[in-house]
A = this chain, B = another copy of it.
């Protein structure tokens, strides 16, 4: 979404008389001037720390969309999955089309109720964080996705202060996306962009199962 697309949606529908058409044109001309000035006022370019959190769906999925956009710009991308086990997912199959431009590590072993072994979960998350740090240090990679890292932080499987400090110290052109609900306040404080996915309506509540191609 561009800046403009995130702004004014406040005018009301109009009919189609010549007068209305001219009023619409004049209003849009004024709005364009405002939009152009807003865009012109934004001059900073930097690698962003992006957090996708909240109870709704789309946190990981939006990170995948960012990955696709980045791949379209010729970037290399790193993905570390902190929690999910080595499932066969559609996204994992799809990125094969981009060869070694996607470095994907699924290092979680599934949810904590699957492993039922906290020490193993902690060890897996700490290993995932080591791999993540290596990817962030790779100058050929412009975007790193730390999928479900918020869950590892929420359970204190990782040292929050150390993770936030490392993310703050990332190189200037590196974009990092951290996903998962219950993002910690210090991470939100360090972030450039925080999106909260809210659930207005969910098909699981209607008995619809997780389906291939949609949920995984």
| A residues lining the B interface (CB < 8 Å) | 1-6, 9, 11, 13-14, 16, 20-21, 24-25, 28-29, 31-32, 35, 39, 41-46, 48, 51-73, 75, 83-84, 89-95, 97-98, 111-119, 142-143, 148, 151, 154-156, 175, 181-182, 188, 191-204, 206-216
Output the nearest chain B residue to A26 by Cβ-Cβ distance. Answer: B116
Of B73, B143, B214, the residue contacting A93 (CB under 8 A) is B73
Given contacts A60-B1, A75-B213, contact A68 B69 (CB under 8 A): no
Q: Is the CB of B192 within 8 A of A83?
A: no
Of B42, B93, B97, B197, the residue contacting A210 (CB under 8 A) is B42
Cα distance A69–B155 when bound, in Å? 28
Q: Is the CB of A119 within 8 A of B16?
A: yes
Given contacts A48-B203, A51-B200, A52-B58, could you give 18 more A-B pairs where the C-beta distance is less than 8 Å?
A2-B210, A5-B83, A6-B204, A13-B155, A42-B207, A42-B208, A44-B206, A44-B207, A56-B196, A58-B197, A61-B69, A63-B65, A68-B95, A69-B216, A175-B213, A191-B201, A196-B199, A197-B198
Which chain B positions have C-beta within 8 A of A6? 55, 57, 202, 204
A179 to chain B, nearest CB (A): 9
Output the nearest chain B residue to A179 by Cβ-Cβ distance. Answer: B1
A155 to chain B, nearest CB (A): 6
Cα distance A215–B48 when bound, in Å? 11
Which chain B positions have C-beta within 8 A of A66? 61, 214
Cα distance A72–B93 when bound, in Å? 5
Q: Is the CB of A3 within 8 A of B94?
A: no
Q: Is the CB of A62 within 8 A of B69?
A: no
Q: Is the CB of A118 within 8 A of B196?
A: no
Given contacts A65-B61, A84-B5, contact A44 B193 (CB under 8 A): no
Given contacts A21-B119, A83-B5, contact A200 B195 (CB under 8 A): yes
Which chain B positions have C-beta within 8 A of A75? 213
Which chain B positions have C-beta within 8 A of A195? 56-58, 197-200
